[in-house]
């Protein structure tokens, strides 16, 4: 799927991506990022730190939001800038819903978006911003999705 610049409008909603992190996912994400912090896989340690369960990694929140952006923009879209902030913790079993909207479209072909991730209680876990460069539709060409 490729999203073309001409098809994007300010205010357009970015479809939701829902993620339900599991302890298995947190273990695999820690392994692949070489993150040995116990807070992500040791429930006893997490309890000592005052948490109900192990915590979803900061970077995994970012990845959920990046995937939300690319699921809308297309895997080949060139992300120019991206940022997120961890506002609340999440634990395995939470339902994290990532949404977004287009806030600006520049004449140079850059699309600015705001995104956010909320849990099942509606609490904001991670706000994000992104700028993505989209291709223009080839003259005489058609969309493919």
Partner 1 sequence: MAEHTRESAVEAAFERVQAAVGKVATRHHLGPVGKVAAARFAVACDTPPTLLDEDGLPGGRVPNLYLSSVLGWDAGRHEAELRLDGTGGDVLTDLPLTGLRLMGVGQELTFGRPVLPDTDVLMEMSIDAVERKEGRSGVLLLVTVLRRLVDAASGEELVSCRERFVGR
SS3 129: strand
Tell whether residue 39 is a contact of partner 1 (CB under 8 A): yes
Of 21, 126, 8, 26, nearest to 73 by C-alpha is 8
The kind and range of the H/E element at 19 are: strand 13-19
Residue 8 or 82 having the CB closest to partner 1: 82
Q: How far apart are the first and last CA of the chain?
A: 5
Compute the least distance from the CB of residue 112 to partner 1, in Å.
14
Q: How far apart are CA 55 and CA 63, in angstroms?
A: 15
Q: Which two tokens stand for residue 131?
A: 């700028």
Q: How far apart are CA 61 and CA 40, in angstroms?
A: 13
Among 63, 91, 103, 105, binds partner 1 (CB under 8 A): 63
Q: Which two tokens stand for residue 48?
A: 């000592």
Region binding partner 1 by CB under 8 A among candidate stretches 8-16, 73-81, 106-114, 116-124: 73-81
Give the x-and-dash track for 101-120 against partner 1 (CB under 8 A). Answer: --------------------
Region binding partner 1 by CB under 8 A among candidate stretches 30-38, 108-116, 117-125, 136-144: 30-38
Count interface residues toward partner 1 (CB under 8 A).
42
Beta bridge partners of 24: none
Tell whether residue 66 is a contact of partner 1 (CB under 8 A): yes
Tell whether residue 10 is a contact of partner 1 (CB under 8 A): no
- Which residues would be at the binding site for partner 1 (CB under 8 A)? 1, 17, 19, 25, 28-29, 31-39, 42, 45, 57-60, 62-64, 66-67, 70-71, 74-86, 126
């Amino acid at each position: 799927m490729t999203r073309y610049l001409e098809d994007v409008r300010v205010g357009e909603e970015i479809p939701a991506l829902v993620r339900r992190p599991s302890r298995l996912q947190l273990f695999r994400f820690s392994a692949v990022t070489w993150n040995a912090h116990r807070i992500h896989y040791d429930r006893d340690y997490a309890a000592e730190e005052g948490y109900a369960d192990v915590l979803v990694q900061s970077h995994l929140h970012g990845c959920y939001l990046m995937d939300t952006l690319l699921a809308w923009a297309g895997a080949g879209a060139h992300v120019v800038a991206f940022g997120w902030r961890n506002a609340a913790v999440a634990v395995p079993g939470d339902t994290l819903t990532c949404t977004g909207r287009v806030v600006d479209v520049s004449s140079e072909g850059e699309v600015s978006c705001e995104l956010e991730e909320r849990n099942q209680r509606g609490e904001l876990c991670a706000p994000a911003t992104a700028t993505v460069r989209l291709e223009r539709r080839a003259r005489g060409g058609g969309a493919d999705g």
